[in-house]
Amino acid sequence: MKALRYLVLFALIATVAPNAKAQFEKAEVWVSGMTCSMCQMATQKSLKTIDYIGSIEPNLKTNSFILTFKKGKEVDLDVIKKKIKDAGFSVSRLITTFNFNNRTSVTNNFVFTYAGSTYRFVNVGDKVLHGEVNLLLLSSGFVSTSDYKRYSAQNFDPSYKTGMSGKARILHVTLASN
């Protein structure tokens, strides 16, 4: 039965290839460990070196940044995480806006691929998505350590802990409550 479930998943990966225009448009990232405006400045300067980021809008009150991505550039969310680590801090929360150009029915474990990475929906229920959708990242490195423990306890599929599905990077997402 389990084998069948994974077969269905692989079929989904193969068939729900997103159309060419579907893409990440922006993200809001909250950084933990930052305690001063100088630290936030250092983090912003580190993010500024990412080629797909068009603009950065800092919020010093909430220790967060709104990142707008350049159109047509491939977005690798792991790079954001790495640049924040390089500055000495950690991502505690990341919500990204993905544009579903086509009406897409999603359910738990629904996956789509983008720029070589796989994105898997969890805790979502049955929904139809269209247009701009805010996705909350649940994967390790995109949530606080306490949240990661909480999500790990929910027993998602094994790739949640490894972050890999075969040789491909997999990121777990859910719909962000607005």
Partner 1 sequence: MNKSAIPALIFVIAILFFSKAGAQELFVATEPASNMAKNSIRLRLSNEAVLETDFKSRTSLGIMYGLNKSLTLNVNAFMADFYQRKQRINGYSFYGKYRFLNSDNVQKHFRGAVFAQYSTVKFPIIHDEINLAGENNGLQGGIVFTQLLHKLALSGSVSYTQSLDKFIPGHEMLHDNAHNSIAYTLSSGYLIFPREYTDYKQINTNVYLEFLGDSHTGSGRNFMDASPAIQFIFNSKIRLDFSKRVQLWGNMERRFKNLYQVRVEYNLFNVF
Residue ranges binding partner 1 (CB under 8 A): 32-33, 35-38, 40-43, 45-46, 48-49, 58, 60-61, 85-90, 92, 144-146
Q: Which is nearer to partner 1, 61 or 103 (CB)?
A: 61
Q: Which is nearer to partner 1, 110 or 141 (CB)?
A: 141
Q: Are 127 and 65 in contact (CB under 8 A)?
A: no
Residues present in the chain in total: 178
Q: Are 47 and 94 in contact (CB under 8 A)?
A: no
Q: Which is nearer to partner 1, 62 or 162 (CB)?
A: 62
* Shortest Å distance, C-beta 67 to partner 1: 17
- Alpha-carbon dihedral of residues 62, 32, 45, 70, nearest 10 degrees? -70
* Shortest Å distance, C-beta 6 to partner 1: 35
Bridge pairing between strands 117-121 and 168-175: parallel
Q: Which is nearer to partner 1, 11 or 60 (CB)?
A: 60
Helix (H) or strand (E) holding 10: helix 2-15
Q: Are 59 and 93 in contact (CB under 8 A)?
A: no
* Shortest Å distance, C-beta 10 to partner 1: 36
State the first-to-last Cα distance of the chain, in angstroms, to the nearest integer.
36
Q: Which is nearer to partner 1, 35 or 107 (CB)?
A: 35
Torsion angles phi and psi, residue 109, rounded to 5: 75, 5
* Shortest Å distance, C-beta 130 to partner 1: 33
* Shortest Å distance, C-beta 72 to partner 1: 24
